[in-house]
Amino acid sequence: MKKAFITGITGQDGYYLASLLLEKDYEVHGTIRRSSSINTPRIDGLISEHQDDGRLKLYYSDLLDSSSIYSLIDNIRPDEVYNLAAQSHVSVSFKNPVYSTQTGTIGSVSLLEAVKNVDKEIKFYQASSSEMYGGGSKEPLNEDSLFDPKSPYAASKVFAHNITNIYRDSYNLFCVNGILFNHESPHRGETFVTRKITRALGRIKLGLQSKLTLGNLEASRDWGFAGDYVEGMWKMMQLDTPENWVLATGKSITVNEFASLAFDYLDLKSEEYIETSEKYFRPNEVDFLLGDPTKAKEKLGWTPTTSTEDLVKMMVESDLNLAKRESVLIKEGLIKPTWENPI
């Protein structure tokens, strides 16, 4: 039975990747950060499902604690390591640049050092990001396109990407970088713009919220479904030769267009409910990102199977159900609205 080690297992990608690997009969090991609040809601179902067979094991650790990381890799001896952990919100990285960059830089080096010193046969995946490109080009971006990071988050990802290449070339390690363009789902964090849209939409439809406040409506992104993208991650790790890969849909739409698709699905007009505020604009905007997944399609046999419309439908239906539960709890006096623009 193969073993996989996942940092960031409690995040969106961690959930989908762990689910995929468990389906493929892996033994999955993941790290979670110590916190005063419970931070495993995305994977609670997986924990419950595998509490008897022991194929999902969790450990308290932090990427900034290199000795802890080394000890875990040494004791587990995984076949594959997936580094998904990060402070992944671009706007937050401007407000908390030190922690954001430390996690992306020190964390990746700690993992690579552990792999190098424990067992050079361990395969390593680094989660790179389309934010590294900076959004200055309207052309489709591929594995050879130049990076021009516009945020502390993106700068830390460029470092992690480059150090992964260096360890691959210097120590003959199996190290791959997956440059994933925006990938969303019902498990996306609620402060990310796509999820903020669908979360607010459910509440607006049920009369729990009056308006949705956003930032740059003309920012354009290549949005896909996270469940499709983790399949690509796994495929990268099954090859004999390590390379870097772009995963994308090859289609870019604006925040405004995404919102319109979502509101249209519930027969509402987005322009009647959306307003903008300067507080949601980034200090340094990335206006346009479009990926070129040609290499992944031709050499990995990977292609996204979920359309933009199906992604929007999936997210809207999930968040409408959440809003229905909130409505019941409000009527019973069990909760009060804590979101923006409540009714």
Q: Is 131 a catalytic residue?
A: yes
- Catalytic one of 131, 167, 220, 273: 131
Residue 129 annotated among the catalytic residues of the structure: yes
Query: What is the number of other CB atoms lying within 10 angstroms of the CB of residue 93?
Result: 26
Structure tokens at 19: 């689910």
- Alpha-carbon radius of gyration of the chain: 20
Give backbone dihedrals phi and psi of 325, rounded to 5 degrees, phi first.
-65, -40
Cα–Cα distance measured from residue 63 to residue 8, given in angstroms and rounded to the nearest whole number: 10
Q: How far apart are CA 224 and CA 247, in angstroms?
A: 9
Burial of 254 per CB tally in 10 Å (0-12, 13-18, 19+): middle
Give the three-class secondary structure for 81: strand
Q: Give yes or no: 252 in active site.
A: no
Q: Please pick, among 16, 153, 229, 265, the residue that the annotation labels catalytic.
A: 153
| Pair of tokens at residue 74 | 């040494």
The active-site residue, picked from 88, 129, 220, 270, is 129
Residues designated catalytic: 129, 131, 153
